[in-house]
Structure 1
Amino acid sequence: MPLNYIEPYPQNHTYINNTNTTLQDFPNMLEPNRAICLKFQEVVYKIKLEGKKCKEKTILNGVSGIVRPGEILAMLGPSGSGKTTLLSALGGRLGGKLLSGKITYNSKPFSGSVKRRTGFVPQDDILYPHLTVFETLLFTALLRLPSTLAHEIKVSQVERVIAELGLIRVRNSIIGGPLVRGISGGEKKRVSIGQEMLINPSLMLLDEPTSGLDSTTALRIMTTLKSVAETGRTVVTTIHQPSSRLYHMFNKVVLLSEGRPIYYGAGSSALEYFSSIGFSTSLTINPADLLLDLASGIGPESKHAMEQGDNMEQEKKQVKEALICAYEKNISISLKSELCNPETCDFNKDASITPSREREGEWCTSWWHQFKVLLQRGMKERRFEAFNRLRIFQVLSVATLGGLLWWHTPESHIQDRVALIFFFSVFWGFYPLYNAVFTFPQERRMLIKERTSGMYKLSSYFLARTIGDLPLELALPTAFVFIIYWMGGLKPNPITFILSLIVVLYNVLVAQSLGLAIGAILMDIKPATTLASVTTLVFLIAGGYYVQQIPPFIVWLKYLSYSYYCYKLLLGVQYQENDTYPCLKMGKWEWCKVVDVPAVRSMGLNNLWIDVCVLGLMLVGYRIMAYLALQRLRIR
C-alpha cells in the first residue's frame, strides 16, 4: 500500500455514541506522507546568563544519535540534564547562533514540510478548558489535516484517535482547568497526544508523556506509542524515571548528565555496557534506576558512602568524569562512523520520497478555512465566559444606577447633561480596554504551541480572535445606552439617539484596540494592567471635562486621548451651535446659547469629521501595533 494512500470513507460508518465502540470500527484514514530518519551530530546549545556580559552556560555539549523509522528513542537523565532542550532542538524549536551541530531529517535540514509531519507533545497540557474532548480534537483536525480531505474523513480520524487512546468514556466531557472541573490529568495527557496523532505524523516528539500518571495509564500510553512506532513512525521521548515495563519498550536510550552524553545505544544493552566499564550491581533492579543514579554521579558502591555521610561531591565528580571518558572511548567513535555512513538511513528508498504535491511553505488549509474554524472554536470556548451573568449584571446595574442619578435631567441643568455625556465616553473607554488587555497574555502559550506546529497563519488567528469578541463588546454597550440615554432625559430624537449609540460603539472598538495592543506588547498580565491603569488615568484627566484649559506645553496630551474625541463627538451629536437652553440670569429665566457653556466652549462643536478620522486612525493603528507585537513571539 503506498504511503499516501487514503482509505475511502466507509459507507456504514457510525460515530462513537457508547463505550462499546472499539478501535476496529474506525480504520485508519491517513497514512504518513513519508518515513523520517532522524540524525543529530555534536549538538551544542548555550544560553547567555542575565546580568553577566559575555557569559554563557552550556546546556547541551556534543550530543549525537540516530533514530530510524519504527524505533523509540528515550532520553533519560536527572532534572536539568538537558532532555527537554535536546527534544526542542530536534523539533526545530531552538535556533540562532547559540545552537550548533547538525540535525537532519532524511539527510535534509529542518523545513516547513518536516514541521507539518512532526508531532510535538509538550510536558504541560495546553488545552482550552471549556471545550469537550471531541471538540478539542475536531478543531485540531480541521486545522491540521489538509483541505483536500472531506470533512467526514476528518471526523472519522478524530473518532479513531478517541477510540485508540481510550477516551470514549469522556468524549463529551469538557477539558477543565484550575477553576473548571473536567477530565483527569491522565486523560488530558492522552488528549494532548491525540492532537498530534491526528495527522499520523512521521516523527513524534514527546516531552515527559508519562509525567504525573499512574503506572497503568503510563503503560497504556507507552503501548500506544510503541504501536505508533511499529507502523513506521519515528518516536523520540524524554522520560524522567520509567518503570522497568516502560524501559524495555525503548529501542534506544540516550543518557544525559549535565548536558553531556554518557550512554547511547540499545536499552537492553545498557546494564551490560556499564558493567563492562566497572559500574555493575549484584542487585536485581530497574535498569532506569541504575542509569539515573549514574547520571547523577552515584555509582552502585556510592550508596554506602552516602549513608556514612562521607564527602559525596568529589566522588560524584569522579564518577561523571569516568563515564564521560568511557563514552568517548567506547561509544563516540563508532557512533560518529555510523552517522557519517550515507547508507545509515538507506531504508526503503521508495518510502522516503514525498508522494504528495506539497510544496515548501504551502499551508495545508486556506486562510479563509483557518479563519472560520478559529472563529467557531473561539466562540465555543468563550461562550460561558463572554455572556456570564456577572458581567451582564455589572453593566446593567451601572446603567440603571446612572439612569436613576441623572433621572430626566431638565434642559436647564446643562452641566449635569454634559457630565452624563462625559460619563458615556469614560465608562466605555475604560471598561473594554481592561477586558481586552487580558486577551493575548492568557492565550500566549496556546498561540506559541499551535503556530509552532504550523496550524494556521497569525493573521487568521488575529482576526478570528478579535472579531469573536465583538458580540459581547457591542451588545453590552448597546444595552447600556438604551437604558441610561432615555432615563437620563437626553434629547428624545431617534436620529440623535442612534448617532450617540454609534459614537459609543466606535469608542468601544478604539478602546478595545488599545487594550489589545498593550496586552500583545507586554504579554504579561501584571505590567499590562499597570500600564492600562496609568494610560486610562491620563486619558481621563485630559479628556476635556476636568481640565478645560490645559497649559500649552502639555496640551498635546489631550489629542492622544480617545476619550477626548468621543466626548467631543457626543457633544456634537447632542447639540448644535445655535441650540439654546433656559438659564437663570439676574433672577430671570432667559434663553442662553449652549456654546457659551464653558465645558462646551472649550471643546467646540466644529470639525467633527476630523475627530471621526482621528479615531479611525487610532483604531487601525492600535490593531496594527497588536499584530506586529504578536509577530515578535518566537515561532519556529
Structure 2
Amino acid sequence: MMPPEQEMGITGKSPIVPGSSRLEDGMSEQVQATIARCSILRGSLRPVTLKFEDVAYTIKLPTTRGNCFGSTDSKPDRVVLSGVSGIVQPGELLAMLGPSGSGKTTLLTALAGRLPGKISGSITYNGQPFSGSIKRKTGFLTQDDVLYPHLTVLETLTYTALLRLPNKLTRAEKVEQAELVILELGLTRCRNSIVGGVLLRGLSGGERKRVSIGQEMLVNPSLLLLDEPTSGLDSTTAQRIVATLQGLARGGRTVVTTIHQPSSRLYWMFDKLVVLTDGHPIYSGTASRVMEYFGSIGYVPRMDLVNPADFLLDLANGVGPDMKQGDRYDNHGRSESDDQNSIKKLLISSYKKNLNDNLKAEIRGNYGDQNTSLPPTSYSKVSGSEQQWNTTWCEQLKVLFVRGLKERRHESYSGLRVFQALSVSILSGLLWWHSDPSHVQDQVGLLFFFSTFWGFFPMFNAIFAFPQERAMLIKERSSGMYRLSSYYFARTAGDLPMELVLPTIFVAITYWMGGLKPFPINFVLTLLTILYNVLVSQGLGLALGAVLMEVKQATTLASVLMLVFLLAGGYYIQHIPPFIAWIKYCSFSYYCYKLLIGIQYTDNDYYECGEFGRHHCKTLEFPGIKHLGPNNIGFDVAALGVMLVGYRFMAYVALRIRQH
C-alpha cells in the first residue's frame, strides 16, 4: 500500500510540480509525456512574495432604533482585524491559527483582494498593489466546496479550464491541463465519478476538496489562498490535503491557509504561522520558533502536551497553561473571563513589544523600501485596461451553455416534474373530455386553465435559479472566469430546450382530449401562445429571484402576485371597478387568456343559446368572452413582448447591482 504522499502524487522531497524532472515511480511514458507537455503549456511560475503590514478592518454595526424614549442607540464599530503583519515567500506554507471569530477568514479574504469595504494598512505582491494580473495568478479556495453535483470530476475541471485558461491554448491543450491536474492531485480513480452533494451520493469529502483545489491549480497560480481546507475531514484525509499543499508550495508557489485545529502531524508541515485572537496578532513568524517565543514571555506548555497547536489555541482563547478551567471565580474573586481577557491583552502587548518592529523591518527589507512607508490598501474595481478576459464572449457563452445543459437536465427532466406535467395534462383532458362546442363556458374554462397553470409552474421553477447558483456565481465571477452577460444569456438560453418541452407535451395531450377546435392551425397557434406565456412567466420568476435572492421571500411575493393575476385574469370577474381595473393590464395571464380566446373563436363561430337551444348566437357575444375584447390580438402580443423583455432586463440589472 502506497503512503499518502505517493498516493497524492507527492513523493516527499521532490513532489510532482510543473517543471519537475522527477516523476512518480512506475509512471508510464505516455503519462510522463503528458506532464511534460502540459508543464510547457502552463508556462513557468512567477514567484510572488506576499507582504501585509498593519492590516486593519472595521465594520459598522446597525443602529438600534425604538427604545422606550424614542431615541436611537448607536453601537460601536466592531474591530475585525487590527495591526496584522506578516510575510510569506515562494516555497513557503503559511498557516493562520486562531479560535472561531478571530478574523482568520477575513484576513485571508483581504489578502485575496475580495474583501469589501475599506482596509487600512498595506498588502503588496512583489512590492506592487493588487491588480488584475495578480488576480489572474491567484487561486482562492473558500471553506465550502462550491461545485456542481451532477458533473463528473473530469467535466468539472475541463469546463473550468475552458473558461479560465487563455485563448492562446487550443481546446485540446486545455483538456490536457485538466488531465494533468487530475493526475497531480491523485483523482485518477474517480475522474469519471459525479461530484455529488448533500442529496446526491458522489465523491468523498477529501476528494471534493481536491477537486476544488484542482480548479484553482488549473491556472498554475503563483499565490494560493485556502480557507480551512481540512474542515470536516478525518485526520488521514486532512494530512493528505496539507501534504498536497506542502508539495505545491515546494514547487515555487506561495501558499496561505487558515486552519482551525490541526493535529500535531499537520502542524509540523507549516513553515510560518500567524496566530490571531479577537482580530489581534499574538504571533507572526517561523513555525519552528513559536514555542521558544511564548516560553520567553513566561508561557511554557505542560510537559504532557503533544500538539503545539492546542497550546497556541488555548493562548488565543486566553487560557494559560496553569489555568484551571471550569471554575467561575478564582481565590481572589476574579471571574474566569477577566483572567482570559488579561492574558489576551498581555499576549497582544508582548507581540507589539517583541515581534512587531522586527517583523516590519523584515517586511520593508525587501525590494529596497526600508525607508518608505507602504501605501494604504484599497480594493477598487479592476479597470477595463487591466481586466483582460481569458476567453471571448462567444466562447464563454458556448461553454456555459453546454455546462448548464449537462448540470440542469437532471432537474428539468426529473421523474417528479415529468409525472407532475403528465398527470395534470391527462387529468385535465379527462375532465374536459371532448367538451361540446356549445358548452362555451366549459371550453373557456379550459383555456383559462392553460394560461394559469403555465403561468404558475414555470415562474415558481425559475425563482430558484439565481438563489441556488448564487454561491457558484460569486465564486467564479470573483476569479474572473466570465462576464456576467455571457453567464446570463447562457443561463436563459439553456432553459429554453428544457422548459419548453413539458408544456409542448402538455398541450399536445390536453388540447385534443379537451375537444377544442380540431384544426392544426388552431393547435399550433395555441401551443405558441402557451410557450410565449411560459417565457414571460419564467422571466418574472428570474426577476423575483435575482432581486430578492432569498427563496422564501421570492416565493411568498410570487404567490401574492399570481393570486392577483389570477383574479384579474378576466375569467372570474367580468366587471372590475374602474379604480382598480388597471391591475389586469399588469397580468400576463390576462393577455394570454385573451389570445387563446381569439385563436379559438372567430366571427363565424356560433353556439346554441336561448331556451332549449333554439337560437344560435355568436360565440364572441358570449358574456364571458365579450367583455374581454379578444379581437385586439396585436396589442396583446406586444404587451407580452414588453413583459418578456422587461422582466429579463430587470433580472440582469438586479444581478449586475449585486456584483458591485
Q: Is this a same-fold pair by TM over 0.5?
A: yes
Determine the C-alpha separation between the residues in 2 that align with 1:165 and 1:511.
45
Give the counterpart of 2:322 among 293, 301, 309: 301
Determine the C-alpha separation between the residues in 1 that align with 2:309 and 2:443.
77
Residue 409 of structure 2 aligns with which residue? 383
Deviation at 1:96, TM superposition (A): 2.0
Match of 1:314, SS? helix
Residue 15 of structure 1 aligns with which residue? none
Aligned-partner residue type, residue 422 of structure 1: F
Aligned counterparts, 1:106-117, within 5 A: 106-117=126-137
Say whether residues 1:605 and 2:625 are aligned partners: no
Deviation at 1:435, TM superposition (A): 0.7
Give the counterpart of 1:393 among 408, 412, 419: 419
Equivalent residues of 1:23, 1:164 under 8 A apart: no
Give the counterpart of 1:218 among 238, 242, 250: 238
Give the counterpart of 1:496 among 505, 522, 526: 522
Give the counterpart of 2:96 among 62, 66, 75: 75
Say whether residues 1:561 and 2:587 are aligned partners: yes
Say whether residues 1:521 and 2:547 are aligned partners: yes
Closer, same or farther: CA 19–484 of 1 in aligned 2, 3 Å: farther
Between 123-132 and 64-73, the greater mean CA deviation after superposition: 64-73
Closer, same or farther: CA 591–282 of 1 in aligned 2, 3 Å: closer
Equivalent residues of 2:455, 2:533 under 8 A apart: yes
Deviation at 1:387, TM superposition (A): 1.1
Aligned-partner residue type, residue 537 of structure 2: A
Determine the C-alpha separation between the residues in 2 that align with 1:281 and 1:447.
46
Q: Deviations over 1:210-249 (max 9, x none)?
A: 1122222222222221221122211111011122222222
Aligned-partner residue type, residue 320 of structure 1: K
Q: Deviations over 1:153-173 (max 9, x none)?
A: 222221221122111121111
Residue 292 of structure 2 aligns with which residue? 272
Aligned counterparts, 1:174-573, within 5 A: 174-283=194-303, 284-302=305-323, 304=324, 306=326, 310=330, 311-343=335-367, 360-573=386-599
Deviation at 1:297, TM superposition (A): 0.8
Closer, same or farther: CA 309–401 of 1 in aligned 2, 3 Å: same
Give the counterpart of 1:56 among 77, 90, 94: 77
Match of 2:531, SS? helix
Deviation at 1:24, TM superposition (A): 7.8
Closer, same or farther: CA 183–309 of 1 in aligned 2, 3 Å: farther
Say whether residues 1:94 and 2:115 are aligned partners: yes
Q: Deviations over 1:102-138 (max 9, x none)?
A: 2122222222221111101111111111111111111
Q: Deviations over 1:331-381 (max 9, x none)?
A: 1112222333353699xxxxxxxxxxx961110011111111111111111
Residue 590 of structure 1 aligns with which residue? 615
Equivalent residues of 2:327, 2:336 under 8 A apart: no
Deviation at 1:506, TM superposition (A): 0.4
Say whether residues 1:628 and 2:653 are aligned partners: yes
Deviation at 1:610, TM superposition (A): 1.2
Residue 52 of structure 2 aligns with which residue? 40
Residue 11 of structure 1 aligns with which residue? none
Between 130-139 and 506-515, the greater mean CA deviation after superposition: 130-139
Closer, same or farther: CA 486–518 of 1 in aligned 2, 3 Å: same
Deviation at 1:54, TM superposition (A): 5.6
Deviation at 1:21, TM superposition (A): 9.3
Deviation at 1:46, TM superposition (A): 1.4
Deviation at 1:44, TM superposition (A): 1.1
Match of 2:658, SS? coil
Aligned-partner residue type, residue 363 of structure 2: L
Q: Deviations over 1:284-339 (max 9, x none)?
A: 5322121111111111112x465796332222112111111111111111222233
Between 210-219 and 128-137, the greater mean CA deviation after superposition: 210-219
Aligned-partner residue type, residue 56 of structure 2: V
Give the counterpart of 1:118 among 138, 151, 168: 138
Unaligned runs of 5+ in 1: 1-5, 8-17, 347-357
TM-score scaled by length of structure 1: 0.91
Determine the C-alpha separation between the residues in 2 that align with 1:221 and 1:274.
29
Aligned-partner residue type, residue 42 of structure 1: D
TM-score scaled by length of structure 2: 0.88
Residue 12 of structure 1 aligns with which residue? none
Determine the C-alpha separation between the residues in 1 that align with 2:648 and 2:44.
39
Between 199-208 and 491-500, the greater mean CA deviation after superposition: 491-500
Deviation at 1:493, TM superposition (A): 1.8
Determine the C-alpha separation between the residues in 2 that align with 1:259 and 1:204.
22
Deviation at 1:575, TM superposition (A): 1.6
Residue 349 of structure 1 aligns with which residue? none
Determine the C-alpha separation between the residues in 1 that align with 2:629 and 2:339.
83
What number of residue pairs does the alignment pair up? 607
Aligned-partner residue type, residue 408 of structure 2: R
Aligned-partner residue type, residue 124 of structure 1: D
Equivalent residues of 1:255, 1:295 under 8 A apart: yes
Equivalent residues of 2:127, 2:367 under 8 A apart: no
Determine the C-alpha separation between the residues in 2 that align with 1:140 and 1:455.
8
Residue 639 of structure 2 aligns with which residue? 614
Determine the C-alpha separation between the residues in 1 that align with 2:318 and 2:28.
49
Determine the C-alpha separation between the residues in 1 that align with 2:347 and 2:458.
60
Determine the C-alpha separation between the residues in 1 that align with 2:76 and 2:543.
34
Residue 353 of structure 1 aligns with which residue? none
Deviation at 1:70, TM superposition (A): 1.6
Equivalent residues of 1:23, 1:163 under 8 A apart: no
Determine the C-alpha separation between the residues in 1 that align with 2:445 and 2:325.
80
Closer, same or farther: CA 272–344 of 1 in aligned 2, 3 Å: farther
Between 290-299 and 331-340, the greater mean CA deviation after superposition: 331-340
Between 335-344 and 145-154, the greater mean CA deviation after superposition: 335-344
Equivalent residues of 1:32, 1:201 under 8 A apart: no
Give the counterpart of 1:159 among 169, 179, 196: 179
Equivalent residues of 2:45, 2:252 under 8 A apart: no
Q: Deviations over 1:252-281 (max 9, x none)?
A: 111101000011110001011111111113
Match of 1:61, SS? strand
Say whether residues 1:168 and 2:194 are aligned partners: no
Closer, same or farther: CA 405–308 of 1 in aligned 2, 3 Å: closer
Closer, same or farther: CA 19–321 of 1 in aligned 2, 3 Å: farther
Q: Deviations over 1:500-542 (max 9, x none)?
A: 1111110000000000000111111111111111111100000
Between 432-441 and 212-221, the greater mean CA deviation after superposition: 212-221
Equivalent residues of 2:34, 2:176 under 8 A apart: no
Equivalent residues of 1:37, 1:345 under 8 A apart: no
Determine the C-alpha separation between the residues in 1 that align with 2:205 and 2:328.
40
Match of 1:175, SS? coil
Identity of aligned pairs, percent?
Answer: 59
Q: Deviations over 1:381-425 (max 9, x none)?
A: 122211122211211111111111111112211111111111111
| Aligned-residue RMSD, C-alpha | 2.2
Equivalent residues of 2:448, 2:571 under 8 A apart: yes
Determine the C-alpha separation between the residues in 1 that align with 2:321 and 2:635.
81
Say whether residues 1:26 and 2:35 are aligned partners: yes
Residue 381 of structure 2 aligns with which residue? none
Q: Deviations over 1:155-196 (max 9, x none)?
A: 222122112211112111111112111111111111111111
Closer, same or farther: CA 586–39 of 1 in aligned 2, 3 Å: same
Deviation at 1:475, TM superposition (A): 0.9
Determine the C-alpha separation between the residues in 1 that align with 2:606 and 2:249.
83
Determine the C-alpha separation between the residues in 1 that align with 2:501 and 2:132.
41
